[in-house]
């Protein structure tokens, strides 16, 4: 099987995050592999392992798009067990919206699928920076593939996949034929930590750098120029400040209700 897992290098939410520059793009200092993508990678590794792993010809390929630092998301994926990495990077990609991102990623996936076609594209349920959840569906539309999003379990049987999805008011089972694009939730598994052996093994694994020219995308189709949306202003919200803090002296519940009444919230 050939599985591609999309991994994104995102600003660590433990620190303050900032929008900068002409296109109000995210400042990518202090970035890490998006937590939500670790679940997708783990799902890919488990599917490959259940089929005999890399010895049996199963590939789990980590693909990241982004500036130089984004290669760190690929490296971490290799340490966790991915067999190979690709890093799509090009100055022209800066400021790409979801439509432009999905265009570039679709081209990279087609490129990686030259020769041996890709069976499955796995992603997290959202990135933890843009948080739009648009890219998996847009990739599926561009590649002409079925999409299965928010999978909380995933099984493959030959060329069919079965997934479970949980919404607020219902749970459903869905089936699709491979190849397909699947996004997974944080309920699907418990991602492994890279161990020492994995970290050493990762040093011997290849990371291929791809440019837009390599994947056949014209620079005018991506980046701020090729995006179909544009951010015209961004304002940092003033940080919330603490209000009244009281210590319970036996009547805090009543004081709470007084506060709600004063705020007209009852």
Partner 1 sequence: MAKVLVFIDNPGDALKKSSLELLTLARSLGETVVALNGDLNSGVSDEFAEYGVTAVYRPSSQDLDNYLVAPKAAYLAAAVEAAGAGTVLLDNSPEGKEIAARLGIRLGAGVITDVVGVDADGTAHKSVLAGSYTTASRVTTPVAVLTVKANNVTPEPAASPSTPDAVTVEVPGDSIATAARITDRQQKTATGRPDLTDARIVVAGGRGLDGDFGPVEQLADALGAAVGASRAATDAGWISHDAQVGQTGKTVSPQLYISAGISGAIQQKAGMQTAKVIVAVNKDAESPVFEIADFGIIGDLFDVLPQATEEIKKRKG
Tell me the angle at which helices 134-143 and 98-112 cross, rounded to the nearest 10 degrees.
Answer: 50
Q: Which is nearer to partner 1, 207 or 231 (CB)?
A: 231
Rounded to a whole number of angstroms, the minimum distance from the CB of residue 162 to partner 1 is 8
CA pair distance 108, 106, nearest whole angstrom:
5
Rounded to a whole number of angstroms, the minimum distance from the CB of residue 239 to partner 1 is 8
Among 40, 1, 36, residue whose Cα is nearest residue 122: 40
For residue 59, the number of C-alpha atoms closer than 13 Å in the C-beta half-sphere is 19
Q: Which is nearer to partner 1, 91 or 258 (CB)?
A: 258
Rounded to a whole number of angstroms, the minimum distance from the CB of residue 3 to partner 1 is 17
Q: Which is nearer to partner 1, 85 or 223 (CB)?
A: 223
Rounded to a whole number of angstroms, the minimum distance from the CB of residue 14 to partner 1 is 6
CB-CB contact of 37 with 126 (8 Å): no
Question: In sequence order, what are the residues at sequence separation of 6 or more whose Cβ sits closer than 8 angstroms to the Cβ of residue 54?
Answer: 48, 60, 83
Q: Which is nearer to partner 1, 115 or 239 (CB)?
A: 239
Q: Which is nearer to partner 1, 53 or 113 (CB)?
A: 113
Backbone angles phi, psi at 29, to 5 degrees: -65, 160
CA pair distance 222, 59, nearest whole angstrom:
28
Rounded to a whole number of angstroms, the minimum distance from the CB of residue 40 to partner 1 is 13
């Amino acid at each position: 099987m050939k599985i591609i897992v999309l991994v994104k290098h995102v600003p660590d939410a433990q620190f303050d995050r900032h929008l900068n520059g002409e296109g109000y793009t995210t400042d990518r200092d202090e970035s890490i592999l998006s937590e939500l993508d670790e679940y997708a990678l783990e799902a890919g590794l488990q599917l490959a392992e259940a089929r005999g792993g890399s010895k049996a010809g199963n590939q789990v390929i980590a693909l990241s798009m982004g500036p130089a630092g984004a290669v760190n998301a690929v490296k971490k994926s290799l340490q966790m067990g991915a067999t190979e990495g690709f890093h799509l990077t090009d100055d022209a990609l800066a400021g790409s919206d979801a439509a432009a991102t999905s265009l570039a990623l679709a081209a990279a996936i087609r490129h990686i699928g030259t020769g041996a076609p890709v069976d499955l594209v796995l992603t997290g349920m959202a990135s933890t920076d843009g948080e739009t959840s648009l890219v998996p569906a847009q990739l599926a539309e561009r590649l002409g593939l079925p999409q299965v999003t928010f999978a909380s379990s995933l099984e493959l049987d030959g060329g069919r996949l079965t997934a479970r999805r949980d919404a607020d008011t219902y749970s459903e089972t869905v089936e699709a034929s491979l190849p397909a694009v699947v996004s997974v939730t944080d309920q699907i598994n418990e991602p492994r930590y890279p161990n020492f052996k994995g970290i050493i093994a990762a040093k011997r694994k290849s990371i291929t750098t791809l440019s837009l020219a390599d994947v056949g995308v014209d620079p005018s189709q991506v980046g701020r120029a090729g995006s179909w949306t544009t951010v015209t202003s961004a304002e940092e919200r003033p940080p919330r400040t603490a209000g009244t803090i009281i210590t319970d002296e036996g009547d805090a519940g009543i004081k709470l209700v007084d506060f709600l009444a004063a705020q007209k919230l009852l």
